[in-house]
Amino acid sequence: MRFRFRKAAHVLERVGLAMAGAACGLFVGAYVGSTIPSLTTQGFLLVMMLLGVVGFYLGIDTPQMPFDEAHSQIDAAELLSSAGTLCATLAAFVSVAVIVLRLEPHSALTWLVFIAWIAGVAMQIVAGTKARMRG
């Protein structure tokens, strides 16, 4: 019975992370889409949200590699996950700041936010997949 509750709690946590990823993707998509005319579509927003869902679901809370003093090595999945989470959430934070404060930044910032988001969720997806494939 205890195992079921732990499993249910873990599923709720993962769903919450996926929803946070979707929200971050929505903010990044809204900011980038409002600045770059060719990306002002509902499809673009949906893709950004889906990337956030997959990235945050897979890339946060990855299974850690067992620690062994004799064979200590860098856990590439953990490093990618943390770097990806930082990039993606920083892109979302900047997007929210630009939207809420009604700033009009240079278009270079828009592209930087877009690239940081794509790179961040890509790192999360690769890290989550790698961590789950190793067992």
Q: State which residues form the domain around 109.
A: 2-62+75-133
The verdict on residue 111 lying in a domain is: yes
What span, in angstroms and rounded, lies between the C-alpha atoms of 57 and 60?
A: 6
The verdict on residue 67 lying in a domain is: no
The verdict on residue 118 lying in a domain is: yes
Sign of CA dihedral 112, 118, 121, 125: negative
The verdict on residue 120 lying in a domain is: yes
Q: What DSSP character marks residue 15? A: H
pLDDT in tens, 27-50: 999 999 999 989 989 999 999 999
Q: Packing angle between helix 42-59 and helix 76-100, nearest 10 degrees?
A: 140
The verdict on residue 27 lying in a domain is: yes
What span, in angstroms and rounded, lies between the C-alpha atoms of 134 and 7?
A: 20
Q: Packing angle between helix 107-133 and helix 42-59, nearest 10 degrees?
A: 40
- Per-residue confidence (pLDDT) for residue 60, from 0 to 100: 80
The verdict on residue 126 lying in a domain is: yes
pTM assigned to the model: 0.87
- Structurally, how many domains does the chain consist of? 1
The verdict on residue 70 lying in a domain is: no
